[in-house]
Amino acid sequence: MRKTIILFVLLLISGIVKGQWVVSDPTNLAQSIVNSSNQIVHTSTTSANMLNNFQETMKIYKQGKQYYDALKAVKNLVRNARKVQQCILMVGEISDIYVTSYRRMLADENFSPQELAAIAVGYTKIIEESANSLRELQDIVNPTDLSLTDKDRLDVVDAVYVILRKHRNLARYYTRKYISVSMLRARERGNSEQVMFLYGSEEDKYW
């Protein structure tokens, strides 16, 4: 019964966003961001070039955001099905943290192009590992796979949820660390206000 509920919810979610899991695959959306980010690292030598190349990542992100925004609108799910929904949404949240934060870091004079490339690699690794975890979730809801019991499937859902929550928190942690480095450098240069304006103060910070 629980397995049926999870499968039903995934089909329902797919219908709401005008596509099936195979078509609007959140793992593919995440992987596209990873691929675009890798291009930024390999082809950019200056902050200006990184900003230009980052536009492709922004484009992919905006396309994926429509999927995640529609998924957020799905309400009144049973507990286990809600956890499946939250797993998918956390991958979207991680992508949002990366895109929002990195776009501001590209405008931050306190980071060198080499540092920006290293930061992109870190975010990309988190997104890539999150997409891999989501693939495990995709595998266990495959209705043709009869080798797993309902308990086995729910155990995988629980495990993936814990991993993705860890990755989401890690993305937040690294963002705070990167910004704190910029703020320290800004104080040394006497331009703290500029950094505060870019990222927000302790009271209104977005990260």
Quote the mean pLDDT of the chain. 81
pTM of the model: 0.81
The C-alpha angle with vertex 11 and arms to 10 and 17, in degrees rounded to 5, equals: 90
Provide the residue ranges of all domains of the chain, joining segments of one domain with +: 2-17+26-199
pLDDT of 31 above 80: yes
pLDDT at 142: 57
Distance separating the N- and C-terminal Cα atoms of the chain: 39
pLDDT tens figures, 60-111: 898 888 888 888 887 777 667 888 889 999 999 999 999 999 999 999 999 9
pLDDT tens figures, 171-188: 999 999 999 999 999 999
pLDDT at 146: 57
pLDDT of 203 above 70: no
CA distance 81 to 92: 17
pLDDT tens figures, 53-70: 898 899 889 888 888 888
Closest CA to 117 of 29, 60, 49, 58: 49
